[in-house]
Amino acid sequence: MKKILKACNVAFSMYSKIPMPRFVWGTEDMRYHLCFFPVVGAVVGGAIYGWYKLAVWLSMSQMGTALVAMAIPLLITGGFHVDGFMDTMDALNSYQNREKKLEILKDPHIGAFSVITLAVALLLTAGFLQEIKVESQVLCLAGSFVLSRVLSGLCVTSLPSAKEKGMLKTTMDTAGRGVVKGSLAVEGILIVGAMVFVAPTYALAVVLANVAVLCWFLWMTKKNYGGITGDLAGCLVVMCEVVSVIAVSVWP
């Protein structure tokens, strides 16, 4: 039980801004922390669902509700994955060779492409969130924050590392891959099952949208980077979240 709590602590400390008890992380503490990566998404999704319920009670406008819903993931995660999305967009749109793209991923400065693509992502999210009006849509949207992290975690534990060092490389080297993959797969099945139970049509929309992004992501990483990095994993999370909003809002 102590190991489980420590692994959960590491996951929330790394992937969220939620205050957690501090201790010195060891290899064993890092080994299974990705099992709890989707749990961070569950907290985000739960907060968004709670906000939508509160917004109805407060008679908030659709725009106000949407903008606060956009802010919730950023507040909980500290924009951790958005940073990876922006770095990836800068590197991808540089049209340089693989080595140069990997260097751009490490560059702490932001470029024009990252700003433009983030603006597009935010505008799409803000626009389509305003079209989410029924509770079943909100519940499936909440579940998508878990699913996006399941897919990202599976990619981290399944794809080769594009770099010889870095936080993700350390995570991959210390992870108990078999247990982590199994745990993530079970979490993925459970969240998809829950979404299907709540609203089969919206669940199908979310799953299809996420699978489409995943297929593109696997092709893109292999072609441009030869593997995965922490920034790329974060980019996948953001893209899955954006397409989930779109899918839930436009699905009839």
Per-residue confidence of the chain (252 residues) as pLDDT tens digits? 777 888 888 899 999 999 988 877 777 778 888 999 999 999 999 999 999 999 999 999 999 999 999 999 999 999 999 999 999 999 888 878 888 888 888 888 888 899 999 999 999 999 999 999 899 999 999 999 999 999 999 999 999 888 766 555 555 555 567 889 999 999 999 999 999 999 999 999 999 999 999 999 999 999 988 889 989 999 999 999 999 999 999 987
Structure tokens at 185: 């797969």
Phi and psi at residue 16, in whole multiples of 5°? Answer: -150, 170
Hunting for tokens 């990836």 — which residue is that? 88
Hunting for tokens 């079209």 — which residue is that? 131
Q: Given this model, what pLDDT does residue 168 score? A: 58
Q: Which domain holds residue 199?
A: 2-18+25-250
CA-to-CA dists, residue 38 to 1, 64, 66, 91, 239, angstroms: 19, 27, 23, 27, 16
Dihedral angle sign, alpha carbons of residues 207, 241, 30, 170: positive
Number of domains in the chain: 1
CB 106 within 8 A of CB 88: no
Q: Given this model, what pLDDT does residue 34 score? A: 92
Q: Given this model, what pLDDT does residue 171 score? A: 58
Hunting for tokens 């106000």 — which residue is that? 64
The dihedral region occupied by 228, where left means phi > 0, alpha psi between -120 and 50, and beta the remainder, is beta
Segment (H or E) for 73:
helix 62-77
CB 70 within 8 A of CB 44: no
